[in-house]
Amino acid sequence: MSEIPTELRYLSSHEWVRVEDGVAIIGITAHAQHAMGDLVFVEMPEVGTELAAGDEAGVVESVKAASDIYTPVSGEVIEINGLLEEAPETVNSDPYGEGWMFKVQIADESELENTLTADEYQAQIEDE
């Protein structure tokens, strides 16, 4: 199993979030993409969409299954990763880097307190 980046926060539904200057960069974890297999399609929210923490924000589809993507924080979608429209497999090869999915201007940073640390996420996936 690949290393879980300690600087990120996680959702129990296998999304990660990195915060930079009040912006949440969101993707799915290596564990999630590994479990799904090769991704063939990524549906992301429209730029300008207002999301609430926990909202369904998109879908990832693999040859095996489709899975919803949830947002860990409330705010406005300010950017999507256009690379994934042409190359969804980027999520498989680099889930914590080039495979990010969308960015949200965070409305309330205190919502991050409801996310998991890397250690908490590691413990969860070991229990699955």
- Residue 44 within a domain: yes
Q: How many domains does the chain have?
A: 1
Distance from chain centroid for Cα 42: 11
Q: Quote the CA–CA distance of 128 and 63 in Å, as a whole number.
A: 22
CA distances from 84 to 75, 80, 94, 100, 106 (A): 22, 9, 11, 9, 22
- Residue 125 within a domain: no
Amino acid at 45: P
State the pTM of this model: 0.95
Model confidence pLDDT, tens digit, residues 75-99? 999 999 999 999 999 999 999 999 9
Q: Which tokens in the block code for residue 33?
A: 């993409």
Distance from chain centroid for Cα 105: 15
- Give the pLDDT confidence score for residue 128 in this predicted structure: 85
Model confidence pLDDT, tens digit, residues 30-88? 999 999 999 999 999 999 999 999 999 999 999 999 999 999 999 999 999 999 999 99
- Residue 91 within a domain: yes
CATH number at residue 95: 2.40.50.100
- Residue 98 within a domain: yes
- Residue 14 within a domain: yes
- Residue 28 within a domain: yes
For 43, the domain range is 9-107
